[in-house]
A = this chain, B = another copy of it.
Amino acid sequence: MNFSSKLIEEAVEAFATLPSIGKKTALRLVLHLIKQEAEISEQFADAILRMRKNIKECKKCHNISDHDICSICKDPKRDASVVCVVETIRDVMAIEDTGQFRGLYHVLGGVISPIEGIGPTELNIESLKERVQKDGVKELIMAISPTIEGDTTIFYITKQLKELDVKVSTIARGISFGGELEYADELTLGRSIIARTPYRLNNG
């Protein structure tokens, strides 16, 4: 693409680094910002800068947060004895959107995947064990995508917690095998939390 302006070119390049945004889309976004008042662009850039600078990871559940402890962990009305274990912060948002869960969360940061070089130490499993030991957690709901890696992760965590007095359940497998959790519809996802099934080692 031919730009008569270096400034435009740089802004287009910046947008085009984002996922799913090509150069043509990037140009459309930049020209949109040019058409608007300069203030709009300032607010836009400011929202991104402020977000990136101040965003924290909750020290308890590893969710993204504005403070050291996130608003969900801090909420006294939520049931701290039930913890929903998820892969990513997007899964937290998806489950919150269902309105079906009033416990707390624990974000693993992924699943065990030898192919991608992700072992148990790369995930927030040790801190989960600590929470179970110290915070009076009675039940863990494994809301992990039903893939081979997800199943391996559930198996590993359950084994780690075997000696502890905690019930482990998985969300009901209403979600098709191989499906991604974040694309499930709210109803299915909500139901699968209610109809969770106890998890058994060795299938029994």
Residues of A in contact with B (beta carbons under 8 Å apart): 1-8, 10-11, 13-15, 17-21, 25, 27-34, 38, 40-55, 63-66, 70-72, 89-90, 92-93, 96-97
Contacts and interface: CB of A to CB of B under 8 A. Distances in A.
Main SS of the interface on chain A? helix
Q: Most chain-B CB neighbours within 10 Å: which of A13, A44, A46, A50? A: A44
A114 to B, nearest CB: 22
A13 B43 CA distance: 11
21 contacts: A2-B96, A4-B65, A4-B92, A4-B96, A6-B66, A7-B55, A8-B64, A10-B47, A11-B47, A11-B50, A11-B51, A14-B43, A14-B44, A18-B29, A18-B33, A20-B28, A27-B93, A34-B52, A38-B52, A45-B46, A45-B49
A42 B50 CA distance: 10
Contacts of A89: 31
9 closest pairs, A vs B, by CB?
A: A2-B96, A41-B52, A45-B45, A14-B47, A11-B51, A7-B51, A14-B44, A10-B47, A45-B49
B7 A63 contact: no
A5 B70 contact: yes
B4 A72 contact: yes
A50 to B, nearest CB: 6
Given A2-B96, A28-B19, A11 B48 contact: yes
A64 B3 CA distance: 9
A7 B71 CA distance: 12
Contacts of A27: 90, 93
